[in-house]
Amino acid sequence: MRARGTHPWVIGGHRGRLYADNAAALHARAVAEGQSIVWIASRPLADELAARGLEVRVRDSLAARLAILRAPVALTSHGDDDLDTYALLFRRAVGLRVHLNHAMNHLKAGQWYRLGADRLRGLRRWVFARGVVYFDWLLASSRLEAEHFGLSFPDRRGRILPEGGGAHIDKFPPLRTAPTDRTVLWFPTFRENVEAERRVDAAIAEVIRHPDLLAWLAREDRTLVVCRHVNAARRPVGQAAGPPPERIRFADPAELGALLERASCLVSDYSSVAVDWLVTDRPAIFFPFDLDDYRGTRRFYIPYEDWHYGPLVTSAQALVDLLVGGTWTDTAAFEERRRRWLEAMFPHREPVYAARCLAAVRELARAPLDR
């Protein structure tokens, strides 16, 4: 076998399902700079990327496993199984393993860190850190994000770099001056169980069929786009029941990036997308209608009441009233909070994150592998 360093890097994300977030942004930068790199994806994503002329291997195939074992660097967004279902069995044979995280790690901790008995917290931490994500290095976008990662991976704090992460951020600073359309984008993140997902479905169904909302959308020539998280258990009730009302559209998760570029407002709950959105200076509405229940399944790094940098509503009626009333367009009321979080979360206001990420990985790859 040739020396490992002469083979391409391998990279994957979202367990082979999506080309998105930090992994996709770093991959695109690496390709642009001539770095030899192979994306590992499940079909049909593998076919789609191959049609674009990118080097791709199908996840869990023999060709993918050979590429992984030969690669000097393996990059992931969610864990080793981004690259292979059985990566845990041969992870020690892989080259330098760099974890990128999928997006920003500021509001909520990973789903492994659930509330409960202390002894179970410790067990969950161990299982997550050793069985799902166990990296040689983790790249953070700021010192604050590195601190949050350190809370999730206390035994790997020395392997977290506070500068070099957040490659996906690059597309957001230019949106400050980019034109928008008349779209209001609602992106509810996934919940931990079926019952919680049903509550999301019910909230969506109530909002999208509210007569006051539909009248306002028509009057203001706007569209409400609902985009569910890729991990959501089921389609929204409104979509499953038939065609949505006029001026309501359901979007595939793969469309999220394009939707964020054009939307004039983001409606969010606990998604890291709301952190990215802060950079755009556009209005945001926070709709954590199940906040008390959600706190029972996820731990927050930042108290939600201190985090939201736009109006907060907790019922479908309140959301509709806020949209129709139009006060959400004025961000001045949250100017101080916006500035404070922007300074803490984004040390650079220019699109330099992907380049810094690629430079950091190259520097790590030049050093001897120390495990």
For residue 371, being part of any structural domain is answered with no
Which residue type sits at 137? Answer: W
Range of the domain at 160: 4-171+349-366
The number of distinct structural domains making up the chain is 2
Same domain for 119 and 191, yes or no, is no
Same domain for 11 and 157, yes or no, is yes
For residue 71, being part of any structural domain is answered with yes
Query: For residues 263 and 269, what is the distance between their CA atoms, to the nearest angstrom?
Result: 16
For residue 132, being part of any structural domain is answered with yes
Same domain for 101 and 139, yes or no, is yes
For residue 310, being part of any structural domain is answered with yes
Same domain for 303 and 189, yes or no, is yes
- State the CATH number of the domain containing residue 314: 3.40.50.12580
Query: How high is the pLDDT of residue 192?
Result: 79
Which residue type sits at 186? Answer: W
Query: How high is the pLDDT of residue 297?
Result: 80
Summarize pLDDT for 222-274 with one digit per residue, the tens.
Answer: 999 999 877 664 455 445 556 789 999 999 888 998 999 999 999 999 999 99
Q: Which residue stretches of the chain have pLDDT < 70?
A: 1-3, 110-132, 231-242
Same domain for 330 and 197, yes or no, is yes
Same domain for 120 and 238, yes or no, is no
Beta bridge partners of 108: 300
Residues 165 and 140 sit within 8 Å (Cβ to Cβ): yes
For residue 229, being part of any structural domain is answered with yes
Q: How many CB atoms neighbour CB 281 within 10 A?
A: 14
pTM of the model: 0.88
For residue 291, being part of any structural domain is answered with yes
Query: How high is the pLDDT of residue 174?
Result: 96
Summarize pLDDT for 133-183 with one digit per residue, the tens.
Answer: 789 999 999 999 999 998 888 888 999 999 999 999 999 999 999 999 999
Query: How high is the pLDDT of residue 218?
Result: 97
Q: In 3D, which of 31, 86, 3, 32 has the Cα closest to residue 11?
A: 31
HSE-up (13 A, CA, CB side) for residue 100: 32
Query: How high is the pLDDT of residue 132?
Result: 66
Same domain for 187 and 108, yes or no, is no
Query: How high is the pLDDT of residue 126?
Result: 59
- State the CATH number of the domain containing residue 116: 3.40.50.11820
Query: For residues 87 and 81, what is the distance between their CA atoms, to the nearest angstrom?
Result: 6
For residue 205, being part of any structural domain is answered with yes
Same domain for 44 and 167, yes or no, is yes
Query: How high is the pLDDT of residue 209?
Result: 94
Query: How high is the pLDDT of residue 121?
Result: 56
Same domain for 243 and 316, yes or no, is yes
CB neighbour list of residue 126: distance below 8 Å, 6 or more residues apart: none
Same domain for 277 and 189, yes or no, is yes
Query: How high is the pLDDT of residue 113?
Result: 47
The contacts found for 320-324 with CB under 8 angstroms, 24 or more apart, are 320/207, 320/210, 320/212, 320/213, 320/216, 321/212, 322/285, 323/184, 323/213, 323/216, 323/285, 324/212, 324/213, 324/216
Q: How many CB atoms neighbour CB 297 within 10 A?
A: 17
Query: How high is the pLDDT of residue 119?
Result: 46
For residue 92, being part of any structural domain is answered with yes
Residues 272 and 103 sit within 8 Å (Cβ to Cβ): yes
Query: How high is the pLDDT of residue 128?
Result: 59
Same domain for 140 and 179, yes or no, is no
Same domain for 73 and 182, yes or no, is no
